[in-house]
Structure 1
Amino acid sequence: MRRYWRIFQEFFRTCFVEELEYRSEFLGNLLSSFFGVGIAVLTVQIFFYQTNQLGGWAYADVLILLGIFNTLQGAIDFALRPNMSRLLEHVRKGTLDYILTKPVDSMFYVSFRHLVFWRLIDILLGVGLIIYGLVQKHYIPSLADILMFSVSLFSSLVLIYSLWMMLMTTSFWVIRIDDLSFIFYSFFETTRFPIGMYRGWLRILLTYVLPAAFITNTPAVALLGKWNGVTTLLSIGIAGLFLWLSRRFWRYALRSYTSASS
């Protein structure tokens, strides 16, 4: 584990140096992130012009949920999304051979080799939105709330990574993966709002089939002091299960890979 942490630090340093070559883009990306968060908050306000609750959640609660969503989206765009298209190119061109011959786990390498640092702005804005929502609600989380929130948020990150990695792995068979990326982001967008606002079969699907309810709703509930130990353990178990499945799927895909030299 310590070895891989050092490797990740090297990835971090290398990508940071690369991005320093394009400093003029930082301001534009910063303004873009602020604009995106502003539009999201405005959308929530429009909903609450017509109602006092959204899926059983008050305005401040939805702001916290939106902050968690933005934090997770920033993490996706920081580490996972920039590696998606590169894996597809590696498989197409046969350059995955160079990765497989390196003395490092190939799944780790293709997941975290390229990082987009300006996306960390989205994470900071998400944290700021969470704090703003707590101020609006006049609620100060206890240490137990923060602990449960941290565990739930980490589980959400592992779950997102596992689902995203499984999607990336389909590039061994799927030539064009853009449509699959759209499907994943469409699924992820459903976590922007409370699961309670969905009705019928869609709510059942997002709760019991696709674990969308555990991605943003569980951390938000935990931070608001409404956490449940069983639910938190369940979120850890689901994240661990999908991580194991993504690992198994990756190994299966490697057995199907036809390298450039074979």
Structure 2
Amino acid sequence: MKRHWRIFCEFFRTCLVEELEYRSEFLGNFLSSLFGIGMAILTIQVFFYQTDNLGGWKYADVLLLLGIFNTLQGLIDFALRPNMSRLLQHIRMGTFDYVLTKPVDSMFYVSFRHLVFWRLIDVLLGIGLIIYALIQKHYMPTIMDAVMFFISIGSSLVLIYALWMMLMTTSFWVIRIDDLSFVFNSFFETTRFPIGMYRGWLRIVLTYILPAAFITSTPALSLLGKWNGMTTILSVVLAGLFLWISRRFWRYALRSYTSASS
């Protein structure tokens, strides 16, 4: 674990040095992120012109949910998104052979080698929206609320990583698919809104098959003091289970991989 942490710190340092060479892009990226979250808030306002609640959630509650979604999206775009698309390129172009020769776990390397620092702007905007939503609610989370929130959002990050990793691992067999990330993005976008607004089979799938309900809704409820100990434990268990499955699936895929030199 310590060795992997040191390697990640080295990835962090080298990527930061690379990105500091293009400081002029910061303002443009900031305006782009600000525009994106502004449009998301406007979309929510359009919904609430027609109703007082959305899937049982009030306006401030949905703003909080959006803040958590934006925070998670920023973290995903910071670390995961830059790497997942490269995995497909590595396999297609045969450069994955070089990854396997490096003295580090291949799954760890392809997951965290490239970092995009300006995406942390989305994290800061998301945190700002969370604080604003709590002010609108006139609610101050307790220490226990905060603990449950951090446990839940940590589980959400692990769950997101595991699901996306399993999806991208299929590129060992279906390398002609141009962008497997599109499938994950479509799934992740469903967590922008309360699960209660979905109906029928879609709600069943997002709750019990693809546990989207645990990604944003559970952290949001935790921060609002509506946490449930069993639900929080279940989110941790699910995250651990999917991470274990993704790890096993990766190892199985490696056994099926035919290198460019073979």
Moved more, 73-82 or 151-160: 73-82
* CA positional deviation for 1:180: 2.8
What's 1:198 paired with?
Answer: 198
Matched, 1:156 2:179: no
Q: Distance in 2 between matches of 1:54 and 1:151?
A: 26
* CA positional deviation for 1:126: 0.5
Matches of residues 105-184 of structure 1 in structure 2 within 5 Å? Answer: 105-184=105-184
What's 2:215 paired with?
Answer: 215
Per-residue Cα deviation, 1:200-257 (whole angstroms, up to 9, x for no partner): 1111111111100000000000000000000000000110010001000100110111
Matches of residues 1-262 of structure 1 in structure 2 within 5 Å? Answer: 1-262=1-262
Q: Distance in 2 between matches of 1:109 and 1:11?
A: 9
* CA positional deviation for 1:179: 4.7
Q: Distance in 2 between matches of 1:252 and 1:114?
A: 24
Letter in 2 for 1:137: K
Q: Distance in 2 between matches of 1:141 and 1:42?
A: 26
Letter in 2 for 1:72: L
Q: Distance in 2 between matches of 1:154 and 1:62?
A: 20
Letter in 1 for 2:210: L
* CA positional deviation for 1:95: 1.3
Structural RMSD (CA): 0.9
Per-residue Cα deviation, 1:176-202 (whole angstroms, up to 9, x for no partner): 334532221111110000001111111
* CA positional deviation for 1:27: 0.8
Q: Distance in 2 between matches of 1:92 and 1:46?
A: 43
Gapped runs of 5+ residues in structure 2? Answer: none
Per-residue Cα deviation, 1:138-193 (whole angstroms, up to 9, x for no partner): 00000000000000000000000001111121111112334532221111110000
Q: Distance in 2 between matches of 1:148 and 1:62?
A: 19
Q: Distance in 2 between matches of 1:10 and 1:228?
A: 39
Per-residue Cα deviation, 1:33-91 (whole angstroms, up to 9, x for no partner): 00000000111111111111110001110000000000111111111111122111111
Matched residue of 2:134: which SS? helix
Q: Check the 8 A contact 2:82/2:115 in 1, yes or no.
A: yes
Per-residue Cα deviation, 1:92-146 (whole angstroms, up to 9, x for no partner): 1221111111111110000000001100000111111000000000000000000
Q: Distance in 1 between matches of 2:84 and 2:202?
A: 28
Q: Distance in 2 between matches of 1:184 and 1:90?
A: 19
Q: Distance in 2 between matches of 1:10 and 1:35?
A: 32
Q: Distance in 1 between matches of 2:141 and 2:255?
A: 48
Letter in 2 for 1:203: R
Q: Distance in 2 between matches of 1:216 and 1:177?
A: 29
Q: Distance in 1 between matches of 2:52 and 2:176?
A: 44
Matched residue of 2:56: which SS? coil
Letter in 1 for 2:60: A
Q: Distance in 1 between matches of 2:167 and 2:7?
A: 24
Letter in 2 for 1:75: L
Letter in 2 for 1:104: V
Quote the sequence identity (%).
Answer: 81
When normalised by structure 1's length, the TM-score is 0.98
